[in-house]
């Protein structure tokens, strides 16, 4: 398994689109969606550079057919988000998920219905074990 490392923001934007599309994807498909969803024009050379970096980092695999290059994810969206979340909790909350939840509760960002959902989720997780 490839070791996962944090992605720079621009590379993460590319990966979000790759995960959204049915693989394989092309740079022109990416450029169209990035421009549509992000509201800014991306240069094709920038997309090619970022795709090359993602291949080097082990996030994508590539193959060439004729003049077109196709890309497929090697690391899934959920796998990457789990890595990012664990890294965030470790860095900012000393690895304590409880400290993270407490911080969200203390500043009022958790509503009653979200707390109910969280309790239900925890009960469901306990039943699975």
DSSP, collapsed to helix, strand or coil, labels residue 8 as coil
In angstroms, the CA 34 to CA 17 distance is: 7
What is the average pLDDT across 21-46? 86
What is the average pLDDT across 41-56? 93
The answer to whether the pTM exceeds 0.85 is: no
- For the stretch 90-103, pLDDT in tens is 999 999 988 888 88
Closest C-alpha to 51, from 33, 36, 30: 30
For residue 2, the model assigns a pLDDT of 56
DSSP 8-state symbol, 74: S
Q: Are 60 and 51 in contact (CB under 8 A)?
A: yes
- For the stretch 61-72, pLDDT in tens is 999 999 899 999
Least confident of 28-32, 40-44, 120-124: 40-44
């Amino acid at each position: 398994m490839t070791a996962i490392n944090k992605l720079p923001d621009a590379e993460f934007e590319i990966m979000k689109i790759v995960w959204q599309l049915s693989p394989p994807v092309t740079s022109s498909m990416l450029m169209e969606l990035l421009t549509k969803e992000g509201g800014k024009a991306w240069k094709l050379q920038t997309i090619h550079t970022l795709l090359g970096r993602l291949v080097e980092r082990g996030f994508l695999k590539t193959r060439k057919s004729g003049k077109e290059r196709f890309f497929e994810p090697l690391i899934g969206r959920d796998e990457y988000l789990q890595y990012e979340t664990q890294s965030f909790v470790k860095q900012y909350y000393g690895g304590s998920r409880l400290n993270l939840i407490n911080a969200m509760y203390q500043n009022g960002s958790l509503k009653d219905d979200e707390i109910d959902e969280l309790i239900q989720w925890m009960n469901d997780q306990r039943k699975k074990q």
